[in-house]
Structure 1
Amino acid sequence: MIEQAIEKASDTKALKIGPDAIAYTGTMFNELFPGKRAIIVADMNTWAAAGERVCAALSEQGISSEPPFILEDSDLYAEWSYLEKVQARLENTDAIAVAVGSGVINDLVKLASHRIGRRYIIVGTAASMDGYTAFGASITKDGNKDTFECKAPSGVIIEPEICAAAPKEMAASGYADLIAKVPAGADWMLAEAVGADRIDDFAFSLVQDPLRDSISDPQGIYNGETAPIGKLAEGLIMSGFAMQAAQSSRPASGLEHQFSHYWDMEGLCFNGKHVSHGFKVGIGTLLSTACYEFLLPLDLEGIDIEACTGRWPDKEAMKKEIETVFAGKPGHLARGMKEGLGKYISSDRLASELSTIKEQWPELREQLRKQIMSFDEVFENLKMAGAPYTPEMIGLSNKDLKTTFRALPYMRNRYTIIDLIYRCGLMEKAEEALFGKDGRWSVTDE
């Protein structure tokens, strides 16, 4: 399937994953960029992990290299000021960047290279996220985390032994990002059912076919075992290829990522450090899974469509809802106006959607049940992998989760389970199920 993924990929034309893969860096570079010079971009940790070996691999193939550009900030993250530093360095040379690192380095080099009309390759140092082979870069600018359009790397090199030696939290973050594809897949199934977003069968299979195997050994991942971390890395890479194939993050991102986006915009930090993408998504996955556990037992065949359309807000009323939800948060408000109103539908369209759900619910519910893992299984797997499994572990309270939940119908112009809950008029019931007296994240101080 990897061969098929590369064949259909729009951007990435070379992948080497396996033992001693770093030794292949020079060969790949010459195949992709014959006659070009190289410049390694890394941070202090990733340079220590693999930088000198990458240098040696380039040198062995006769590739001329600039001195490496090493970002030295101990709390480096994908923020615009760091992007400008990387871009400024690349603008001062005609060399092709060889990124050595994981999520942050990859996104910075990806966008910086794109902005000056160049491509790059990445030597991954951790199985920490699915962005190695994904188009687009997630960068925080003016306090707003957004995905900027840019091409995926031309080539990717992953050595599982290097990934296994990375700090445990890196693989734990990758595990959380990958298990998120379970509810994300269910969200795409829902979106197709209502006619909001057709499933791309090839992209869907790239993510979902290897997924259960890739997340099957959370304990091995926590223990730093090479084989399960190699499987994890492959699963993450396939997710990136799926995004290339679909030209969208839809194959790998559902409601769980919208929780993360909200917290990105809050600048979420814990113990003085930015919380990793995977850790935020992992908590979002628990919440998304809880939404499915709330919804799937319900008899949506009996939904009162007339009542739902009767209370459906017009566009002006929805604007007021968005203003209320995001009061005092101008960045969130701007996003809500763009994204939330962007998926506004008429009451006639709502009636049509809900009629479809009524007709398809028995079959659709069974498909979703087969796709979704239980909340308890997701919880235990995150715990075994060393990823956060309670909001407090990333610096959030139950009340914070509830506040985020209320905002999610307006956070992204992408149909997910939150839209079905909202459009069925079930937000209050869902909120009670998740955050009420007997909910998984009980909020009692309101």
Structure 2
Amino acid sequence: MCKDPHNHPRIVDLQDYLSGCTCEQEHPAPEVTLYRGADACQVLARDCRAIYQDQPVLLLFDPDTYAVAGAELQQCLIAENVNLTTYQFDSHPVATDTLIATVSALIHASVLIISVGSGTVNDLGKYSSSEAKIDFWSVPTAPSMNGYTSGIAAIKVKGVKRTLPATPPQRLYVLPEVIQQAPLKLRQAGFCDVLAKVVSDIDWQCESLLFSGGYCGLPATMMAGVEKSYSEHPEEIGRGDESAVMGLFNGLLLSGVAMSLAGSSAPASGGEHLVSHFWDMREAITGREPELHGLQVGAGIILSTACYQRLRQLDSAALQPQADRIFAATAAQIPVIWGPYAAEVDKQFQNKRELLKQFDHLLPQKWEELQSLFQQVPSPEYFAALFARTGAPFNLDAFRLTEEEFTLAALNGRAIRERITVLDLAANAGVLEAATEDALQLLR
């Protein structure tokens, strides 16, 4: 493996995967390095002192992540005489533009942000450091999501969940025991999130076939090499088996790198992620307590695969020209669903109107080629059983979702992003409502 100046290996050597590239575009070599060991906090602190000397450093955590790793890291940094400022978010923080402003105000002359945590804490540090053009290091605390190494951050801007560009961390310092002993729900969430790429990769291929031609097989090639280390071991992940949990964690890290190489979240985020973002955005309206992103993505996978199952059963003769009518009907629901956030959502949906109008002629024209992609997606029953085998409940009640809220997201989640996904295909092919009911049968 490649080495950095301080002898930590890079997560991947790009040369190992370039044979999987099918787009003939240049892929930037990922520079993220990884140190893994029980002494990760001590090593991080020594590296920090050696590299940044007396320059200011900002450390971010929340109460939970402080307890499992932040306190130890803080002590190590102080012992190394690092010029340290710390900030603790409230429990279960949400990544919003308001919190980004809070972090930005703390940066001052800082040259480095270190995040101790998983999804939200990681994204807040990553995006803030990227905007300030300073370095970012991460101390993961759970195998719960693939954003540690990605080039994006999920931030609510004016109430709308946005996937924004953000520079990945230069370094990851991992405490294996912390990852292995993360709560079961966090492990299940990561399992759902990493398996989303099975569906989102087909979403990306469908969009590429219909419109952009931008698909590249490199991310899928990267993931194929590690997929068995987590997909075949749901029970072991549920029990906290070290090999299985670390296999899951490695898969999540590679998934994030794959997104960075692709220059977008498309390899690991399709229609199944849109419904998760929909529920996150609706929390201020519904008062629903936030749920883990990966678990919501798991419910979205059941919906997306149900859509693909319906699509592959459909003959091209059943396709009707209805793009304008469907767009108008969906757009008319935006003010009803989103209230004060309607203008921002409508802006996103209007941005893909011209693409959606082409469905009337593109779907029949490309139907045979699309069918070959539809056939590659496993059934929703396969995923529902796989997720349940981790040992944690996998249903709407467990995720505090009503059938009404699930249906609302299924039928309208495609409006919150410009990206074309299976939800758009299913809506314009007239099978989205039936697929939603199929998914509900498995999630009740």
TM range (shorter): 0.7 to 0.9
User: Residues 346 and 294 (structure 1 numbering): CA distance in 2 closer, same or farther, change over 3 Å?
Assistant: closer
- Distance between the aligned counterparts of 2:437 and 2:292, measured in 1? 29
Instruction: Say whether residues 1:338 and 2:338 are aligned partners.
Output: no
| Paired letter, 1:340 | F
Alignment of 1:290-329 (within 5 A): 290-300=306-316, 302-304=317-319, 308-309=320-321, 311-313=322-324, 318-319=327-328, 321-324=330-333, 326-329=335-338
**1:66 matched residue in structure 2:** 84
1:84–1:335 CA distance, 2 compared to 1 (3 A)? closer
Q: Deviations over 1:8-59 (max 9, x none)?
A: 5567432224564444324554676577453422222222212344346556
Query: What is the CA-CA distance between 1:168 and the residue it aligns to?
Result: 2.3
Q: Specify which of 64, 71, 93 is matched with residue 76 of structure 1.
A: 93
TM-score, with normalisation over the residues of structure 2?
A: 0.84
Structure 1 residue corresponding to 2:413, chosen from 375, 396, 408: 408
Given candidates 204, 220, 230, the residue that maps to 1:188 is 204
Q: Distance in 1 between matches of 2:418 and 2:201?
A: 17
Residue 200 of structure 1 corresponds to: 216
Partner in structure 1 of residue 5 of structure 2: none
Alpha-carbon deviation of 1:390?
1.3
- Residues 322 and 35 of structure 1: CA distance in aligned 2, closer, same or farther (over 3 Å): same
- Distance in 2 (CA, whole Å) between partners of 1:123 and 1:441 is 34
Given that 2:226 and 2:251 are in contact with CA atoms closer than 8 Å, whether structure 1 keeps it comes out as yes
Are positions 1:85 and 2:102 aligned together? yes
Secondary structure of residue in 1 paired with 2:323: coil
Q: Deviations over 1:309-344 (max 9, x none)?
A: 3x3317xx8345412354252355334422322222
How many angstroms apart in 2 are the aligned matches of 1:243 and 1:347? 25
Equivalents in 1 of 2:75, 2:328: separation in Å?
A: 58
Mapping for residues 427-446 of structure 1, pairs under 5 Å: 427-431=432-436, 433-434=438-439, 439-440=441-442
Runs of 5+ unmatched residues, structure 1: none
Aligned 8 A contact 2:188 2:238 in 1: yes
The answer to whether the Cα contact below 8 Å between 1:178 and 1:235 also exists between their aligned partners in 2 is yes
Pair 1:257-2:276 in alignment: no
Shift of 1:411: 2.8
Q: Comparing 346-355 with 173-182, which one deviates more in the overlay?
A: 346-355
How many residues end up aligned between the 2 structures? Answer: 425
CA deviations on 1:217-261 (whole Å, 9 max, x unpaired) are 222222222211111111111111111111211111011001011
Q: Which amino acid aligns with 1:121?
A: W
SS in 1 for 2:35: strand
Which consecutive residues of structure 2, in runs of 5 or more, have no partner in the other structure? Answer: 2-10, 17-26
Which residue in the other structure is 1:223 paired with? 239
Helix, strand or coil at the partner of 2:186: helix
Residues 401-426 of structure 1 deviation map (CA, whole Å, 9 limit, x = unaligned): 22222213423222221222223233
Which residue pairs with 2:140 in the alignment? 124
Work out whether residues 151 and 259 of structure 2, in 8 Å CA contact, stay in contact via their aligned partners in 1.
yes
Aligned pairs for 1:125-204 within 5 A: 125-204=141-220
| Cα distance, 1:198 vs structure 2 | 2.2
- Is the 2:311–2:374 contact (alpha carbons within 8 Å) kept by the matching residues of 1? no
Distance 2:70 2:409 in 1: 40
Note the aligned Cα RMSD (angstroms): 3.2
Q: 1:101 aligns with which of 110, 114, 117?
A: 117
Shift of 1:206: 2.7
Q: TM-score, normalised by structure 1?
A: 0.83
What is the alpha-carbon distance in structure 2 between the residues aligned to residue 141 and residue 6 of structure 1? 37
Q: Which amino acid aligns with 2:236?
A: G
Specify the alignment match of 2:385 in structure 1: 380
Percent identity at matched positions?
A: 26
Cα distance in 2, alignment partners of residues 201 and 223 from structure 1: 33
- Paired with 1:107 and 1:234, the residues of 2 have a C-alpha distance of 19
- Show the counterpart of 2:63: 44
The answer (yes or no) to whether the contact 1:256–1:281 under 8 Å persists in 2 is: yes
**Does the C-alpha gap of structure 1 residues 125 and 321 become closer, same or farther in structure 2, counting only changes over 3 Å?**
closer
Q: Structure 1's 362 and 100: CA in aligned 2 closer, same or farther, altered over 3 A?
A: closer
- The CA deviation at 1:169 is 2.0
Q: Residues 227, 6 of structure 1: CA spacing in aligned structure 2 closer, same or farther, 3 A cutoff?
A: farther
